[in-house]
Amino acid sequence: MATAGALLPSAAMWPGGLSAKSLPSITDRYFIFAYFSGGWDGLLALDPRDPSIFTPGMVASTGIETGYATLKAVDAEELLIPTAVEGMTFGPFIGDLATTHADKLAVIRGMSMEAVAHIAARRHALTGLRPSGTSVRGSSVATLLSYLLGEGEPIPNLVAGLSSFNVGHPLWASGLPASGIDDLYQALSKPETPMLDGQRDALEAFFAQQEAKIHTDLQSEIYGNRLIARSLIDQDLAQHFDTDATDGDMPDLLAHFGDADGNLTDGGYMAIMAAQALTKGISRCVTIKVADGLDSHQGSSWQSEHGPYMREGFDSISALASYLETAPFFGDASDNWLNHTTIVCFSEFGRGAELNSNGGRDHNLINAMLMLGGGIKGGQIIGGTSDVGMQALPTDLSTGLPSDEGAFIGNNHIARTLLHSIGIEEDVGDFREPPVLALLDGV
């Protein structure tokens, strides 16, 4: 099992070479990237508007149409959710996060995306780099962070529910994909009727012999991945992801992440997987999809489903943060995992400030993001959107406040910020934007 800290990459392995400035000075940091799939609506959670001010009659002049009156399964009193943090108000579907972790949340409003096509926008969000069409220009940020920090973990980079990219980094930093916790369990387990030890030993010796003869990059990749697959099984990691287990951590985990009736959402299972992967020292970065079905162009979908699906995702994150907050960090009861885990909640883009002709919402370049946990200065709103069309406000990156001399925050800034949060000041990812220092604790 890994311990706090990380094996740092050697300069020889880095594409283009590493300098002292490009090595992390903070090595006990872990990351969870929580993806809300389809393009989330800021008005319903992260960037609401007061419906008593932004009335239907004001739409022509403000270009903002809350549509709250058409929402199903939400009461008028529950449209705006205040928090204990002054000035931090959320929309109706923020879920438990508003009450349990408001003081830890950093909400970034008025982010500017550069694509409103799902594939391209998602890849931009994952890599922090504007793709070329749909072709990525670099590794996922999770891959980069795993490379920098995660060589000691068995699965440095675990990815569930979406794609991962590795451009030029070592094989071991690649995202290991799993559609969910059950598939991960199977992937880490021996087959139902495994071969005998003697067979397996002979087989491995055979492949070691074949590997000695390889001479192409493709062959290196094949044999390298093969070895990784074998080693994962040999480390008996599957036990941590067995949702049928009646002993160990799993019963308590299922109870914690489930509702009063013991039911879990898909996001809940994803959160369990992330919690186990980190706290058992298995992964450095975990990317999970916690909400789906948010691409609500049709009115019926937006009115009935968008908000509840988003809330499920936020509730999973709330439960995850609560769990990590109570989990001693590598056995140190005076410290906890949330202090060392940065959680990034994102979606590929936002949705329009006005309803479309079908009563739903279409894609929008203006987006929001939510971060909490280790290294993040909580209890604040970074940036903002205007009261005309919810357009992006330029933001002073050091204070987080809107400023005419500020910058428009995008994916590149966030990626750079995450690197900065572990002490890397050099722009090793070629993001070409400065970090949002206002996001970071102790900076």
Partner 1 sequence: MRGSRLILGAIFLLGASDPWVDASTQDLHGYVRALSLDLRGNVPTAAELEEVEEAAEVTESLLESWLYSEEFEEQVIAQHREMFWNELEVNLLPKRKLSKRDGIYFNNNRSRYTRDVAHSHCGDFEADVDEMNRPLSWLTNDDGSISEGYVIVSPYWDPDNPIEVCALDAQLNLVSDTGVDCTTYAGYEEPTCGCGPDLKWCLDGGTETLIEQALSKDLTERVRAMLQSDGSYADLLSSSTMYLNGASAHFFRYLTPYDDEVYERPVPLEDLPELDFADETWTPVTLGSEHDGVLTAPGWLLRHQTNRGRANRFYGAFLCNEFIVPETGVGALSGTEAPTPNLIRRPGCLGCHARLEPWAAYWGRWTEAAMIYRPQESYPAFSEDCYDCATTGVGCTDFCEDYYLVETSHTDQRPYLGWYMTYAFLLDGKEENPDLGPLGWVETAQSDGSLDECATRNTARWLLNWEEDESVIEEWVSELGDSFSYRDLVRRLVTSPEYWAGVP
Partner 2 sequence: MIVWLWLACASTDPDGGKSTVASDPDPTPVVEESELGETTIEREVVVDRRQLKRMTVAQARDSMQRISGGIVWGDEDESKWDAYADTLGVADYQLRVESDRSPSVMFQKFLDDAATATCRGWLEAADSSFYTIDVPDSTEREDVRSNVVGLRWQIQGKPKDASAGIIDDYEALFFKAHQRTDSVEAAWQTVCVAMFTHPDFFMY
Interface with partner 1 (CB under 8 A): 60, 63, 112, 114-115, 117, 130-134, 293, 297-298, 300-301, 304-305, 356-358, 360, 362, 364-366, 386, 388-389, 391-394, 408
Least separation in angstroms between residue 295's CB and partner 2 is: 5
Select from 347, 360, 390, 312 the least CA-distant residue to 71.
360
Distance (Å, whole) CA 268 – CA 255 = 10
Distance (Å, whole) CA 220 – CA 295 = 40
DSSP letter assigned to residue 439: G
Kindly state the tokens that stand for 98: 């508003």
Binding mask 86-125 toward partner 2 (x if CB under 8 A, else -) reads: ------------------------------xxxx------
* 3-state helix vs strand vs coil in the chain, percent to 5: 35, 15, 45
Q: Which does 305 bind (CB under 5 to 8 A by kind): partner 2, partner 1, none?
A: partner 1
Residue partners of 292: CB distance under 8 A and separation at least 6 = 37, 38, 266, 309
Nearer to partner 2, 56 or 248 (CB): 56
Torsion of Cα atoms, 11 then 376 then 92 then 350, to 10°: -40
CB-CB contact of 177 with 197 (8 Å): no
Which residues from 315-374 bind partner 2, rule CB under 8 A? 351-354, 362-366
When binding is defined by CB under 8 A, the residue of 148, 162, 290, 344 that contacts partner 2 is 162
Least separation in angstroms between residue 297's CB and partner 2 is: 6
User: How large is the C-alpha radius of gyration of the chain?
Assistant: 22
Nearer to partner 1, 112 or 157 (CB): 112
Provide the CB-side half-sphere exposure for 441 (13 A, CA). Answer: 18
Least separation in angstroms between residue 59's CB and partner 1 is: 9
Binding mask 283-322 toward partner 2 (x if CB under 8 A, else -) reads: ------x-----x-x-------------------------
**Per-position b or e across 25-50, b if 16+ CB within 10 A of its CB:** ebbbbbbbbbbbbbbbbbbbbbbbbe
169 near partner 2, rule: CB under 8 A: no
Residues at the interface with partner 2 (CB under 8 A): 37-38, 60-64, 116-119, 132-133, 135, 161-163, 174, 176-180, 183-184, 186-187, 191-199, 201-203, 205-207, 209-210, 218-219, 221-222, 225-226, 228-229, 232-233, 289, 295, 297, 351-354, 362-366, 388-391
